[in-house]
Structure 1
Amino acid sequence: MNVKVCENEKELQDAFSVRRTVFIDEQNVPEEEEIDQFEKDAVHFVSYQEGTPVAAGRFRVVDGFGKVERICVLKEARNTGAGKAIMREIESYAQTKSLHKLKLNAQTHAIPFYAGLGYEIVSEEFLDAGIPHKTMLKKI
């Protein structure tokens, strides 16, 4: 598993490819909601398995929090550690920016995954792109 901060157009397109497959194709999120106005302000991450992009995520600083967003893993790479690897890399990146609180909006089915990484639920359920979510926080 090789997780990278996207440093060039190819790596960025690899991250977008994973996001399109998971969110747009698999979960039917409209493309205009998935690829949004924050792409240029975000730091993007992509994970490769034997040279193939299998996971992605992005990170922004919002209201003093490190905001973890768009975490996704291709179906065939789930339960391989790809999601944890992306999260570890994002958390390490946040620490280099002296951020000590991370926030994310988890799809409710993914809450056990994030809870296992130390995130705690801090909101009621809400819909984002028609999918139930809860906000979670972690101090690092």
Structure 2
Amino acid sequence: MTEELLVLDRVDVLECAAEADVCQVIADALVRHARGAVTLPAEGCLPWTNDSGAYCRSLAMLGALEDDGGPPVRGLKLNAATSNPVLGRERAAGVSLLFDHEIARPLVLAEAGWPSAPERRPTPW
């Protein structure tokens, strides 16, 4: 068994998105959701006020796509400050983790700003 963690930065995420049919991936997830093959527990939230007085939060969003002819997918997305746009930054910058189905070990750590912030998302295709 390897103990490797695949780390994807923004460039890697954009390259992956360019090679995928993103609309089809989303459609497949929505079909699984309609069939009840999705798990979306309550979000965890850590709120605070930064030194500028702006409201910040770190959200932990867990989710799973259960087996529907493909492998189950379990993951977590962490994102941050709602005040970032006034600073010229993505509102929902963060990271995503994907977990091994059998042992719950993180397999992938990916930059999540691009998929989380459609208002600032450049199209990779």
Q: TM-score over 0.5 for the alignment?
A: no
Q: TM-score w.r.t. structure 2 length?
A: 0.31
Larger RCO, structures 1/2 (Cα 8 Å, 6+ apart): 2
Larger radius of gyration, structure 1 or 2?
A: 2
Query: Which is richer in helix?
Result: 1
